Amino acid sequence: MLSCDQHDYLEVACVYRFELEVTTTDGQSYVGLANDVRYENKTQCLVLESGSEQHTVAIAQITSLVARTDNPYFQRVEVGF
């Protein structure tokens, strides 16, 4: 589960539309522009845009975030369970 501080990184990434690499608990990796944090089917999700594709990742399943966009806020965030 993301802490409040870690959740703030997602919000910043969406506001500035950072390119992120997101890894989930099942080992999947997704790369795309951070677009939105929203609820889908009562699950809070991060929405990534990759070209014409859109990936919706359950925030509770995220284990790491890597910013591929240079920025002063974060480069890598590891989420502990």
Beta strand residue intervals within the chain, DSSP E: 19-24, 29-40, 43-50, 53-58, 62-67, 76-78
**Which residue range(s) make up the domain with 45?**
4-78
Cα–Cα distance measured from residue 51 to residue 2, given in angstroms and rounded to the nearest whole number: 27
- Give pLDDT tens digits for 23-78: 999 999 999 999 999 999 999 999 999 999 999 999 999 999 999 999 999 999 99
List the CATH number of the domain containing 46: 2.30.30.100
Number of domains composing the chain: 1
- Give pLDDT tens digits for 55-64: 999 999 999 9
